[in-house]
Amino acid sequence: MFEKIWSRHGVAEGPGGHVLLYIDRHLLHEGSTSAFGRLAKSGRAVRRPDLTFATADHYVLTSPGSPAPDTEVRSMVESLGQHTGQQGIVYFGVGDARRGIVHIIGPEQGLTLPGITLVCGDSHTATHGAFGALAFGIGSTEVEHVMATQTLWQKKPKVLRITVEGRLPDGVNAKDVILAIIAKIGAGGGVGHAVEYAGSTIRAMSMDERMTVCNMSIEAGARAGMVAPDETTFAYLQGRPFAPRGDAWGKALAYWETLPSDADAKFDREVELSANEIEPTVTWGTSPQDALPITGRVPDPAAVGDDARRESMERALAYMGLRPGTPLSEVSVDRVFIGSVFVEAGFEWREAGCSMCVGMNGETAREGERVASTSNRNFEGRQGKGARTHLMSPAMAAAAAVTGRLTDVRRLVS
């Protein structure tokens, strides 16, 4: 599948295995304002404004009606509106009912489609790969390059297929699957690769679940994460505002059905997991690879032979304030951050924004506080200086909220 999309988008070949790729879709957020400024100074315009879409999500406070915390942040949001207006780019701005997290508005609006190349100045752009797209994050200078040329130089990665087979046990979902994958292959296990997630477990997932898996591909070091499009994909996309319609839908569908990897396709690497061996999973350290089943115990660095790994584990445990051998189910929490919030459960419904996922705009945990979080990174300081983050699924986070500690959700629903 990766090769089919890559070869279709190659414009020119360069030295060192680099290829100039044509970009079908460019998504922007307010962090792109510096690239707009450089483009203007050079006297250039956005080459394909019709293929470029923007939303405000990174620096927007989630509290309804709250002002921006400082003039710089307010200026970034306002500048995005000004630049997109001048360039004729569709902008889902503050007050627009379509506004949301950049990785969500793409699928919701039908902008993210199978077989396309899609880039955004955000490291978790691999989320869009759930639709069979080749999607990856880019830096600020690359954002400017795509604006000016609608192309981007990239070195062709290898391809890793990760196959998960079987039915997930009760209480286990997509977040547990990707945490288990990263725990198995490591934070650098996908470096230099595009990942294709395959197998009956992946095929049984909803689009939201596939997006959860692909979102964290970068946490294993991968350039992109992808799932082959199928009937689930097509049903989700049909009728979306920017999705093909009428005769164009039929033509698009015919192309999309050719995208899945051929039965005899060869991959550079293969990794396999059994769904029935995956349990509700939580992280204990400061990397997504530091993950274990909730039934486990905090690991002991002394039992690890590799010096570098032992030292990183010792540092992680010191930061997290955890002792080796402690049952994970006995670790208490101070805060819970759930990215999918349910009004019926009594949660406060807020505006869409990156919020505590990246510790933005003052929406952070206090130093030393322990957070049960459905976000995607548990790095030191990610959710606030000294904040201690445990990654887990929404169900596990809800269980932690109810009990005040890391809890096996299966004990609450059995």
State the CATH number of the domain containing residue 288: 3.30.499
* Domain assignment present for 366: yes
Based on the fold, state whether residues 179 and 246 are members of the same structural domain: yes
For residue range 22-46, what is the model confidence (pLDDT) as tens digits? 999 999 998 898 999 999 999 999 9
In a domain, 223, yes or no: yes
Q: What tokens does 155 get?
A: 């070195």
Residue 276 falls inside a structural domain: no
Q: Which CATH number do you get for residue 42?
A: 3.30.499.10
Mean per-residue pLDDT, 209-235: 97
The answer to whether residue 64 is domain-embedded is yes
The residue out of 227, 252, 271 marking a domain boundary is 271
Question: Do 264 and 329 lie in a common domain?
Answer: no
pLDDT band of residue 361 (cuts 50, 70, 90) is low
* pLDDT attached to residue 69: 62
pLDDT higher than 90, residue 58: no
Q: Is 250 in the same domain as 318?
A: no
User: Is pLDDT at 67 greater than 60 in this prediction?
Assistant: no
For residue 228, tell me if it sits in a domain: yes
The span from the CA of 388 to the CA of 369, in Å, is: 6
- Are 253 and 286 part of one and the same domain? no
Count of the separate structural domains present in the chain: 2
SS (H, E, C) 170-235: CCCCHHHHHHHHHHHHCCCCCCCEEEEEECHHHHCCCHHHHHHHHHHHHHHCCCEEEECCCHHHHH
Q: Are strands 25-28 and 291-293 parallel, antiparallel or unpaired?
A: unpaired
Domain shared by 193 and 239, yes or no: yes
Average pLDDT, the chain: 92
SS3 280: coil
pLDDT at 354: 66
Banded model confidence at residue 147, pLDDT cuts 50, 70, 90? very high
252 in the same domain as 315: no
Average pLDDT for 136-159? 97
Structure confidence at residue 364 (pLDDT): 79
pLDDT greater than 90 at residue 316:
yes
End residue of a domain, out of 223, 238, 271: 271
Averaged pLDDT, 331-345: 84
Q: pTM of the full predicted structure?
A: 0.92
Q: Out of 15-19, 242-246, 339-343, which region has the weakest mean confidence (pLDDT)?
A: 339-343
Q: What is the pLDDT of residue 12?
A: 97
Pairing of strands 52-55, 90-92: parallel
Look up the domain containing 251 and give its range: 2-271
